Amino acid sequence: MRKLVYAVHTSLDGRVEGPKGEFDWATMGPELSAHSQELTDRADTLVYGRRVWDMMSSFWPRAEEISDHPHDVKYAPIWRETPKIVFSRTLEKADWNTEVVGGDLTERVAELKSRPGKDLLLMGGAELATAMSDRGLIDEVHLVVHPVVLGGGKQVFAGGVRTNLRLTGTRTMDGRAVLLTYEAR
C-alpha cells in the first residue's frame, strides 16, 4: 500500500507562513534540494490543499522565467510532469496534470492509497495536513525547521488533535536547517 508522506517547511516558532502569508524565508540549499528530490523520486503523485495549490500553480509552470535558482530550474519540469491531486470543496478544475478531489477525506485518501504506484507526497500547507493528521491518514512526516522566528502566521497542525509520532531521523541540511523525520505509530 502507498504511503502518504507530508513534507513541510516550518520556522523555529512552528509557522508555515509569516503573519502576512509570506513564504520568503525557507532557503533551499543543495542538501535540502537533494532531499526534496529524494522525496519526489519516492512519489508518483503530489498532493495539495487549495491554498498551497494556488501558490504552486502560480509559480512552477513559469518557474524558469521567474527564478534562476538551481533548485527551481531543476524541479520545475518535474513539477509540471508529475500527476497532482488537489483536495478542494470549491475548485472544479485544475491544469498541469491535476485531478481535483472532493468528498469524504478519509474515503478519498484510502482509495488513493490503495491504487497501485509509489507514495503520495503532501507538500506544505496546514489545514489539509491537520485534517489528514486528525484522521490518522499521514504515514510519515518530513519537517524542515528553518532558523527564523516569524512571530505569527499559520502553525503546523494548528488546532489538531493530539497525535503521537515516532522520530525516525534527524539531519542538518546545508548547515542551516534541520530535517526531522517521523512515522505514525
pLDDT for res 91: 93
Q: Quick one: three-class SS letters along 6-19?
A: EEEEEECCCECCCC
Count of domains for the chain? 1
pTM, to two decimals: 0.94
Q: What is the CATH number of the domain that holds 9?
A: 3.40.430.10
The stretch 119-134 carries a mean pLDDT of 94
pLDDT tens for 73-92 read 999 999 999 999 999 999 99
**Percent over 90 (pLDDT), the chain:** 95
According to the model, what pLDDT value does residue 125 have? Answer: 84
Alpha-carbon gap, residue 59 to 90, rounded angstroms: 21
Concatenating the DSSP letter of every residue in 98-161 gives: EEEE-S-HHHHHHHHHHSSSSEEEEES-SHHHHHHHHTT---EEEEEEES---SSSPBTTTTPP
Quote the cell numbers at residue 174.
Answer: 546545508
What is the residue range of 159's domain?
Answer: 4-184
Question: Is pLDDT at 60 greater than 90 in this prediction?
Answer: yes
Q: What is the pLDDT of residue 109?
A: 96
